[in-house]
Amino acid sequence: MENFDIAVIGGGPAGVTAAIYTQRNNLSTVVFEHKLIGGAISTTTAVENAPGFNSIQGPDLGAKYEQQLDFLKVAKKFDSVTGIKKVEKGFELSCESGSAYFAKAVILATGSEYRKLGIPGEDAFKGRGISFCATCDAPFFKNKDVIVIGGGNTALTSALLLSEHCKTVKLVHRRAEFRGEAVLVQQLKDKKVEFVLNKAPVEIKGDKFVTSVEVEDVNTKEKSSLPAQGIFINVGFEPLNSLAKQLGAELTPAGFVKRNEAMETNVAGFFAAGDITGGMANVKQIVTSEAEGCVAAASAYAYVKKASMSDINY
């Protein structure tokens, strides 16, 4: 069993930032990430709200995160942590590969995953016209008619990307206004993306592949069919909280991990940062995740060293 001072579970902005700070303060640190360093960022297109970059592609930003971890000699394990147990003086972690680890403190930064609509046809046509990631799949729908479902920034940016590839793009949202940034809405108008508002999807139909989505007017309950060769579902995320549940960490009604201003959970030595907490002030952005990662690192240092936050050398 390998031993570390700090185990960071998740290699997105929160996890990477936490690892940078703990490693720089001479705490042996390991980062567990089952996909790519950068997390969800590695599946996005242009990132234009990260300080220091006018514009950078998501995978490139993820690569820079990894380069910094390597520069600091942070241990990386591309494995899924499937079990976690509180033991004397720390935590035992077990992985999908069968490997086991011990850490004095754990920072959970697992983030969240795509939320499903839960309607007929969604599972049947996944990979056969249904996608959750425009960055991944936009080129497969070149010159086709597609629909994006959702009203937040993810849906808006997906529609923008798809407008560069597809013949037509419709953006379906169950409300009269979008939750996403106004600047993105204006860009979509400039791209002549069609808005289908006050409509809720109720069924996805097709043969071998998707052919249409049936929607219902939220006010009149009248149903109609929208033809499409591709449907991109962007209606939010589900927190990846299984490890927190194993430890008995308190969760919000929506399933996010509860933490205080120091990113401490109700389990001593177990900290949470990033989208798994629901975001700082409910804002889920790179900079807020990084900020939470920094605070979690400071708290983890204080816990391991039995010191105060003011003792940390930033």
**Residues taking part in catalysis:** 133, 136-137
Of the candidates 154, 189, 181, 175, the one whose C-alpha atom is nearest the C-alpha of residue 218 is 175
Beta strands 194-197 and 112-114, pairing class: unpaired
Q: How far is CA 161 from CA 44, 45, 150, 213, 228, in A?
A: 10, 8, 15, 21, 17
Sequential DSSP letters for 218-236? TTT--EEEEE-SEEEE---
Of the candidates 210, 158, 7, the one whose C-alpha atom is nearest the C-alpha of residue 95 is 7
Under DSSP, is residue 140 helix (H, G, I), strand (E, B) or coil? Answer: helix
Q: Report yes or no: 6 and 304 within 8 Å, Cβ to Cβ.
A: yes
Of the candidates 302, 196, 279, 255, the one whose C-alpha atom is nearest the C-alpha of residue 14 is 279
Gap between the Cα atoms of 90 and 97, Å rounded: 21
Gap between the Cα atoms of 237 and 234, Å rounded: 8
Say which amino acid occupies 168.
T
- Axis-axis angle for helices 13-24, 286-305 (nearest 10): 40
Residue at token pair 């409910």: 282
Q: How far is CA 185 from CA 114, 153, 174, 288, in A?
A: 22, 9, 16, 23
Gap between the Cα atoms of 303 and 298, Å rounded: 9
